[in-house]
Amino acid sequence: MNNNSYKSRSKVWNSTVQNINRRDFMRVTGAGALATLAMPYISSGVARAQNQHVVMSMSGGSFMDAWQTEIITPFTEETGIAVQMVSGNIKTHAMTLLSSRGRPPFDFFMGNGDDFVQLVDNERMLPLTPDLVPSIDDIHDKFKAQWEGYGAMFDYHSIGFGYSTEQIDDAPRSWVEFVDRTAAGDFGRTVFFNSLPSGVRGPEVMLTLARAVTGDETGIEGAFDAVQRMKPNIFKFFSSINEPVTMLLNGEGSIGPGWDGRTFIAQDETNGLIQFVKPEEGVASNGPSVGVVRGGNEEAAYKLAEYSLSAPVQKRFCEKMFYGSPNVKVVYSEELQDRIPSAEEVNVPNERFIASNITAWIDRWNTEIAI
């Protein structure tokens, strides 16, 4: 297929994706960073004072829209408790909570795991005990153990390989094979890979790569060596989570790390010209962590935690967004049950290890890889 055909197909894809319900999440990841002023923080007010109003952190975009329709609206109808989402940069939200004095700006916090580490260490979070959050017992241990009772992952995405069947007949089945064949030039200079500093889950991919090549996710030296070997045949270190599918559709790229949901949607829209591989060593994975903030509207926040982590609500939300649920009682629809990686197939990173080392990794990446 010539490049014009690729471009035409990409335009059709971009047009189609705007009008499909569960695919809306592909439009803008990071839109929340542009929407910081959408809602002000609430630090007082009659409703909040009476424990009938929960303020929660939020990124934005279609994720926020899905929270509104699938969780908040029915939660308010059922409990009478209003929920205000404060959209914006998640890391900024975490730092605002961390530095707050007196009444915290949030009652219910959702954010990145490496930021959650600091919040737990600084006693900003309350324990999610089974008596207050019964659903916590249904959360797979992999998605809550590192929070030591103070949080849980709300959902999870997965990163394996996305590839074009028009360019690759025999895709690699493992991370090790992907590294070796990329380094050997099997795919030409058409491979793409996550940029570590750009907020596209580079740390998670590097830890999964380290696990694959060394047997230990903390063997980050092995991951850097693997990227160095591949670098001559990597034509782009991408910085947007939508880029992998776009590059496969327009013919720029043939293979590289990609998100499961986005790639599966592209697979359906192209009648199988785009495919997804779940590597044998497991997919890289992560998702937002949630918890109840100490000193906020604790009773109402606990009710929201229980509601949002319960199996019926998790199923509804994750089916809409094409994400994995940490709740072991969720049974996916036939359309998704063979596609969404199971808990056993995902590598959840050690967030404390990331938080302690990410600055040094980015410095190394910028001096060794990005040049």
The answer to whether the CB of 354 falls within 8 A of the CB of 207 is yes
pLDDT at 123 (0 to 100):
96
Task: Give every CB contact of residue 117 below 8 A, 6+ residues apart in sequence.
Answer: 351, 352, 355
Q: 200 by DSSP, 3-state: which?
A: coil
What are 220-232's pLDDT values in tens digits?
Answer: 999 999 999 999 9
Low-confidence ranges of the chain (pLDDT < 50): 1-8, 12-13, 15-45
The answer to whether the CB of 276 falls within 8 A of the CB of 341 is no
Do the domains 3-21+157-285+351-368 and 35-156+287-340 sit in the same CATH topology, yes or no?
Answer: yes
Greatest Cα pair distance, the chain, in angstroms, is: 65
Q: 309 by DSSP, 3-state: which?
A: helix
Q: Is the pTM higher than 0.85?
A: no
pLDDT at 47 (0 to 100):
53
CATH architecture of the domain 3-21+157-285+351-368 equals 3-Layer(aba) Sandwich (3.40)
pLDDT at 371 (0 to 100):
76
pLDDT at 50 (0 to 100):
59
Is 3.40.190.10 the CATH classification of the domain at 35-156+287-340? yes
pLDDT at 126 (0 to 100):
98
What are 81-137's pLDDT values in tens digits?
Answer: 999 999 999 999 999 999 998 889 999 999 999 899 999 999 999 999 999 999 999
What does the alpha-carbon distance between residue 142 and residue 151 come to, in Å, rounded to a whole number?
A: 12
Domain definitions of the chain by residue range:
3-21+157-285+351-368, 35-156+287-340
